[in-house]
Amino acid sequence: MKKSTNKSARWFRFSQVLQSILASCSLLLPIGAAAQDPFSNPSFGEVSLISGFEPDPHTVSIYAGGSVDLSASRLVDCVGFVSDAPDYRVVYDSDNQQRSLSFYAESESDTVLLINDPDGEWYCNDDYSDELGLASGLDFSSPQSGVYDIWVGSYENEFSSATLYVTELGYLIDPEAEGSDPDDGVRGSASSGTAFFVSESGHLITNFHVVSECSSIQFQLPGEPPVAATVIATNAVYDLALLKAELEKPPANFPFARRPGLGQEIVVYGFPLRGDLSSQGNLTSGVISALTGLNDDLSMFQVSAQIQPGNSGGPVLDRYGSVTGVIVAMADAGYFAEQSGSIPQNINFAIRPGIVQSFLDINNIDYQYNAGETELRIAEIAEIAQTFTGALVCESF
């Protein structure tokens, strides 16, 4: 797309389009809504960003929602309610760099994202990625310089708190991507780890870094003999591996329509420090202490439950006994001590369940859901976890 040079022309077209939206929705608007000034300042401010900006992602807290019903408009193919004035404005300078520009909204409620780009073109999305817990998002592969006006709406006609992310880090969802083993100094041991059943046919999930250097793999449930396991699919970008063992056991369940929530109680079960700690497995509990990983990585969340090398690949379970994440990393104490002079305590990370489910979908694995109507005691969760979680032991090349 060409770069827009006529600001007044852009605003004229902006006015025409927005007035059309308002007119088409007038029968549904409460009295006074249509009289709001469409050229008023963004409700939550604006920012100027030059390509290569830091920190990336740029984030802002807003309230999603409004009185304009997008479903009544023929101009955009979206369902939801937005305000008549923009929520946020980004003045972007591409600096002739070949970077993508992406916008995402994260909220406990379903959201819709509406953007008017520098050419006055409208883009809308209300169904981006359940994998990351992002109901709405838009990616511009070749963004031009200029003004991006952004509305974050709600699927229901109500307001909810939300976080808007602006990033040049690239597409967040690329489940078929290939890459090298992440080298951030926080990964666990590659000689042993944890895995758990995700199908009734013997399919197992673990971390890629656990099995990446294995010439042979043994999987062992507590109190049972070990069996051979074979790697059948990997995704190094998200640090996931799919294995197959000739053993049929009841699989873990994934939550139905539940996303990881800040402060949510969780349980971690795995086989850390194999040979030193219990061969029957180790259980710790804690909470989800942050909804992103290192450097605001949206594919992960942070947990306070204690983990050790060998926990990698193990399930993070919610109070309903469903898998709400996969343990992947712990903070590098040496690195943080050198950088800040303090040693981090209980800063550990897990892969979001939707990322895992997307990986399973791509590989045609028939996994199971749990509606989770009744909370379980921690002892009950531990008993369930032991039926589908075991230790992985590998012999290296």
Specify the CATH class of 192-396 in words: mainly beta
CA 391 to chain centre: 27
7-167 matches 192-396 in fold: no
Report the range out of 174-183, 207-216, 271-280 with the highest average pLDDT: 207-216
| DSSP for 65-95, written as a single string | --SEEGGG-SSS---SEE-SS-SEEEEEE-T
| H and E: helices and strands count for the chain | 5, 25
Residue 324: predicted pLDDT: 94
> What type of residue is 277?
L
Taking the domains of the chain in order of start, what are their residue ranges? 7-167, 192-396
Give the pLDDT band of residue 3 (cuts 50, 70, 90).
very low
Residue 355: predicted pLDDT: 87
d(C-alpha 306, C-alpha 293), whole Å: 16
- Cβ 299 vs Cβ 356: under 8 Å: no
Residue 342: predicted pLDDT: 57
* For residue 328, pLDDT beyond 70: yes
* For residue 178, pLDDT beyond 90: no
Stated as kind and residue range, the H or E segment containing 46 is strand 46-50
Helices marked H in 153-247: 208-211
- Write the pLDDT tens digit of every residue in 71-111: 887 667 788 899 989 999 999 998 776 678 989 888 878 88
Strand partners, 351: 300, 326
Beta strands in 67-213 (DSSP E): 68-69, 81-82, 88-93, 101-106, 111-116, 122-125, 136-140, 146-154, 160-167, 192-197, 203-206
Under CATH, what is the fold of the domain 7-167? Jelly Rolls (2.60.120)
User: Is this model's pTM higher than 0.75 or not?
Assistant: no
| DSSP for 368-385, written as a single string | EEE---S---HHHHHHHH
Give the pLDDT band of residue 332 (cuts 50, 70, 90).
low
Q: What are phi and psi of 198, to 5 degrees?
A: -125, 0
Residue 48: predicted pLDDT: 95
CA 376 to chain centre: 26
Residue 361: other Cβ atoms inside 10 A: 13
Which has the higher per-residue pLDDT, 330 or 229?
Answer: 229
